[in-house]
Amino acid sequence: SQTIHQWPATLVQPVGSPLSLECTVEGTSNPNLYWYRQAAGRGLQLLFYSVGIGQISSEVPQNLSASRPQDRQFILSSKKLLLSDSGFYLCAWKGGPWEQFFGPGTRLTVL
């Protein structure tokens, strides 16, 4: 069966520090992968998606970047965090034509 992992689960970082969040998927190959950000108790905003290794599409201009160095690994990064980068970051993979399966998320607080 397929599983999706994210780490760390929580992160507190100072403004201006770098960021690296990791997402890995097991039990499937060449999945579409997605990074979302969610403000407290609200809807999900798609940040990046990837249809294959090295292929990244950005949905919104921002202080973040994404990379896919391996088939089942998706990384979200920033060189210098802003206060507005705080939020709940979710990784997902595409399981069917439209179905997405989400990871447990990373709670990022920028102070």
Partner 1 sequence: TQLLEQSPQFLSIQEGENLTVYCNSSSVFSSLQWYRQEPGEGPVLLVTVVTGGEVKKLKRLTFQFGDARKDSSLHITAAQPGDTGLYLCAEPAGGTSYGKLTFGQGTILTVHP
Compose the 10-39 pattern: x for residues touching partner 1 by CB under 8 A, - for all others: ----------------------x-x-----
Is position 97 an interface residue for partner 1 (rule: CB under 8 A)?
A: yes
Minimum Å distance from CB 78 to partner 1? 21
Is position 44 an interface residue for partner 1 (rule: CB under 8 A)?
A: yes
**Token digits of residue 76:** 């979200």
Residue identified by tokens 């690994």 is: 73
67 or 94: CB nearest partner 1: 94
> Rounded to an integer, what distance in angstroms lies between the CA atom of residue 74 and that of residue 62?
18
Three-state DSSP state, 79:
coil
Residue identified by tokens 């097991």 is: 26
> Rounded to an integer, what distance in angstroms lies between the CA atom of residue 2 and that of residue 55?
22
Per CB under 8 A, residues contacting partner 1 are 32, 34, 41-46, 49, 51, 57, 59, 90, 92, 94, 97-105, 107
